A and B are shown apart, each in its own frame.
Chain A
């Protein structure tokens, strides 16, 4: 296909796509002017019915809890898949992924390393804060979990390896992922046994605006936070191990 013909085909595609997109965007409701009844209902029933101020957390963890459970297991399955794929290759012959001569700690500058080390604790506290206040303010298990992941990721950036350190936190991360995923499913089972439906809220709702309110929602947030942090760190840790150890020829 000649260059000119390709450009004609490309141009026709771009024009068609752009006109359809503009046509579609023109039909959207104005910003902040959504008329759907379901959204109105959810926004106005979160506080009176569940005593939690973050209507998004109430929607995801209570009104549509099973959807969130399945979403959580998508990440869980992805992490298990990465581990299964990458660990098989580690059994066989390996070469360092970087030559000895060029292998240096990630952060060589002392100032950078001090700055990163100083950031670890505040980011860790921020992550825990976001997880625990998920039912009161924006945030929650997933957001807090990825922040916790980045706090531990900073430890690697400061020059220490996540997977090969003396404490081998990979095992702890696998436990965190498992406890998080199982915790969500078991809290759902508690709802089935006590309240009669899977993921039905079975704990007292408590006073609105307090840390302990919203029934099982804070517990579900903690479970998701553990699961997300563990899963993401396992994936990153496996990739880092790949960087240090690489099978000759095949990978």
Chain B
């Protein structure tokens, strides 16, 4: 195992922990994005460039975006409910 592989493994372990420790869901979505990028580098370091390419877009852009839309909708629903009362 090369130094790059060990370094990316450590970065992924650190990133995964950081996602769990970020308690606010909106922050969590952003930390997930950075974590997705470290996973992409890990895949590249372990010679899986095909998987790394999709991970860059899906993990770093698409997944956090979906989380943020869902959050936005939940927050707005609570606002509408409050206005109705």
Q: How many A-B residue pairs have CB under 8 A?
A: 61
Q: A15-52 toward B: CB 8 Å interface, digit per residue (1/0)? A: 00000000000000001100000000000000000000
CB of B18 within 8 Å of the partner chain = no
| Contact between B53 and A98, CB atoms less than 8 A apart | no
Chain B interface residue bracket vs A: 20 to 34
Which 5 residue pairs of A and B lie closest in terms of their CB atoms, listed nearest first?
Answer: A138-B49, A143-B53, A146-B57, A239-B69, A143-B54
Q: A130-171 toward B: CB 8 Å interface, digit per residue (1/0)? A: 100000001110110011011001000000000000000000
State the CA gap A249–B76 with chains docked (Å): 11
Interface secondary structure of B, over-half rule: helix
Count of interface residues, chain A, beta-carbon cutoff 8 Å: 28
**Chain B residues within 8 Å of A189, by CB:** none
Given A31-B1, A97-B76, A150-B57: A143 touches B65 (CB 8 Å cut-off) = no
Q: Which residue on A lies nearest to B70, using beta carbons? A: A239
B→A interface (CB under 8 Å): 1, 5, 46-47, 49-50, 53-54, 57-58, 61-62, 65-66, 69-70, 72-73, 76-77, 79-81, 84
Q: Could you list 27 examples of A-B contacts with CB < 8 Å? A: A31-B5, A31-B46, A32-B47, A56-B50, A97-B72, A97-B76, A98-B76, A130-B53, A140-B50, A143-B53, A143-B54, A143-B57, A146-B54, A146-B57, A146-B62, A150-B61, A236-B62, A236-B65, A239-B66, A239-B70, A242-B69, A243-B72, A243-B73, A243-B76, A246-B80, A249-B81, A251-B73
A→B interface (CB under 8 Å): 31-32, 56, 95, 97-99, 130, 138-140, 142-143, 146-147, 149-150, 153, 232, 236, 239-240, 242-243, 246, 248-249, 251
| Contact between B66 and A138, CB atoms less than 8 A apart | no
Would you give the shortest CB distance from A237 to chain B, in whole angstroms? 11
Would you give the shortest CB distance from B44 to chain A, in whole angstroms? 10
**Chain A residues within 8 Å of B72, by CB:** 97, 243
Residue from the list B1, B62, B73, B77 in contact with A232, Cβ < 8 A:
B62
| Contact between B49 and A246, CB atoms less than 8 A apart | no
**Chain A residues within 8 Å of B79, by CB:** 99
**Chain A residues within 8 Å of B80, by CB:** 95, 246, 248-249
State the CA gap A162–B84 with chains docked (Å): 30
| Contact between A138 and B69, CB atoms less than 8 A apart | no
**Chain A residues within 8 Å of B57, by CB:** 143, 146-147, 149-150
Instruction: Knowing that A98-B76, A147-B53, A249-B81 touch, tell me 10 more A-B residue pairs with CB under 8 angstroms.
Output: A95-B80, A97-B76, A138-B49, A138-B53, A139-B49, A146-B54, A146-B58, A149-B62, A236-B62, A240-B69
